[in-house]
Amino acid sequence: MKTNQTYINRLNDLLSTYQVHYQNLRSLHWNILGSNFFELHAKYEQLYNRVQVIIDDLAERILTVGGLPLSKLKE
């Protein structure tokens, strides 16, 4: 059986992965060029807004199980 700290560590790993994913989506959103600009711009915004909710939910879950969500890039 997994310990609570192992569970918290895995949630923080997932949180970190989503933070990187979020930044990548923002970068794509900011750097769109071409004839599909408006369609892609809106789609990337939809995607990063969804990921932002997931990030918030993960951080709150970490708190509810007694952990602290990692929030610094160094971490």
The share of the chain scoring above pLDDT 70, in percent, equals: 97
Domain tally for the chain? 1
Which of 59, 54, 53 has the alpha carbon at shortest distance from 72? Answer: 59
Q: Is 34 left (phi over 0), alpha (psi -120 to 50) or beta?
A: left
Does residue 39 lie in a domain region?
Answer: yes
pLDDT digits 0-9 by tens, 41-55: 999 999 999 999 999
Q: Is 66 left (phi over 0), alpha (psi -120 to 50) or beta?
A: left
What CA–CA distance (Å, rounded) separates 14 from 6?
A: 12
Does residue 47 lie in a domain region?
Answer: yes
State the chain's mean pLDDT as an integer: 93
DSSP code for 55: H
The answer, yes or no, to whether residue 1 has pLDDT greater than 90, is no
pTM of the predicted protein model: 0.87
Domain that holds residue 21: 4-64
pLDDT digits 0-9 by tens, 19-39: 999 999 999 999 999 999 999
> What's 20's domain CATH number?
1.20.1260.10
Does residue 74 lie in a domain region?
Answer: no
Does residue 60 lie in a domain region?
Answer: yes
User: Quick one: pLDDT at residue 75?
Assistant: 75
